[in-house]
A and B are shown apart, each in its own frame.
Chain A
Amino acid sequence: MVDSPARNGGPAGPAGGSAGPGSAAAPMSREPDLDAELVSRSKNGDLEAFEELVRRHQRPLFAYLYRLAGEPNEAEEMTQAALVKAWKALPGFRGHSSFKTWLYRIATNHAINRVKRRKPEVELSEFLSAPPEIEPDEVFRRRQRAELVQAALEQLPPDQRAALAMATWDGMSYREIARALGKTERAVDSLLFRARSGVRRLLGPARRKGLV
């Protein structure tokens, strides 16, 4: 079996190895040859090779789907569905894009349809109206910040959310995001502009209150 740094799907930086916006992609992306080799073996039905691919991609894919779905159990369900779909469709994968981009496209198509049908469960205002802690410890602060960010994300339309998640946490380029979403790079630019403006507007009150 092939060894890899992303083995066992352990956490890697902010959601899968991204160092932040516009940064280099996750560690797995630095090893496209290994991905290509594993894909080539998996295409011929090699289950061990596919298992290794799952190990390498499950964590960032789950984190991405969590940003889209906003709920860990649902994100996990979506991750499983996307990976199984990828297995079934793998012999038809021609390698025009990286495996990661292709996998994200499968996952996005599956997830966006589900996410579109429902309204956000938690309103951002609920967080803002909560009584402030007198001296919140770091853990509380971090959790509160995460909840605020997730609540803000859930207010965005799914395609904006998807583009923003790929750019922010997966360090994907405009080109990769465009391929994953089936859009042009120009459209991705527009989506990101609207998404970032939306986040700024949504997090503005929390920022003024010093919550983020």
Chain B
Amino acid sequence: MECSKIRRQLTSRLAGKAGCDTAGRHLERCSACRADLEELRADAELLASVDAPELSPFLLTRVMAEVRANGTQPELRRRLVLGRLVISSAAALTILVGAWGGTVLGGALVSEAHKDPVAELMSFGQTVDDLEYDGEEEGQ
């Protein structure tokens, strides 16, 4: 494998990725590539040794103040509104179904109450004559 190809893999080797065996064997043989890897490692160590400045102790307070000023997250607000909408719709639907059911049931009861008593009796196999006959017997 050529040195240029190996050098292309040195960064991932630096990040702890082993790479292919060919690269490993090449590094054992090639002092130039080994020196390259060492230099990369030294740079990485140099970078890592440099600290960032101190963070202001008030950042947390500032972030939380802005968050509080913003109130509920927009997505959460949408969900809450949607949840409320679903609950109100379900309640409205329940009321509508209840009203419809009440109307149907009430209608059935009313029609039951206004049924023709004669027709009802006839349905039991009795006739008007039978009724009249019974009445006469009582009269005598």
User: A residues engaging B (CB < 8 A)?
Assistant: 9, 11, 14-15, 18-22, 43-45, 47, 50-51, 54-55, 58-59, 62-63, 66-67, 72, 75-76, 79-80, 83-84, 87-92, 145-146, 149-150, 164, 167-169, 173-174, 189, 192-193, 196, 199-200, 203, 212
Contacts and interface: CB of A to CB of B under 8 A. Distances in A.
Contacts of A193: 8, 10-11
A67 B56 CA distance: 16
Contacts of A72: 52-53
A20 B52 contact: no
A76 B46 contact: no
B52 to A, nearest CB: 4
B45 to A, nearest CB: 6
Interface stretch (B61-69, B93-101, B113-121, B122-130): B61-69
17 contacts: A14-B49, A45-B72, A58-B59, A58-B60, A62-B59, A80-B63, A83-B67, A84-B66, A89-B75, A91-B76, A91-B79, A145-B46, A145-B50, A150-B50, A169-B48, A169-B52, A174-B12
Interface residues of B, number: 41
Interface string B32-49: 000000011101111111
A36 B46 CA distance: 34
A63 B53 CA distance: 8
B14 A76 contact: no
B51 interface: yes
B64 A47 contact: yes
Nearest to B16: A22
A20 B44 CA distance: 7
A17 B18 CA distance: 24
B28 interface: no
Given A84-B67, A87-B73, A88-B73, A145 B49 contact: yes
B139 interface: no
Given A9-B55, A76-B55, A196-B43, A91 B63 contact: no
B132 interface: no
B44 A21 contact: yes
Contacts of B12: 174, 189, 192
Interface in B8-24: 8, 10-12, 14-17
A50 B63 CA distance: 10
Contact of B60 (A47, A54, A87): A54
B60 A9 contact: yes
A200 B79 contact: no
B14 A22 contact: yes
Contacts of B79: 91
B51 A15 contact: yes
B70 interface: yes
Nearest to A71: B53
Contacts of A88: 70, 73-75
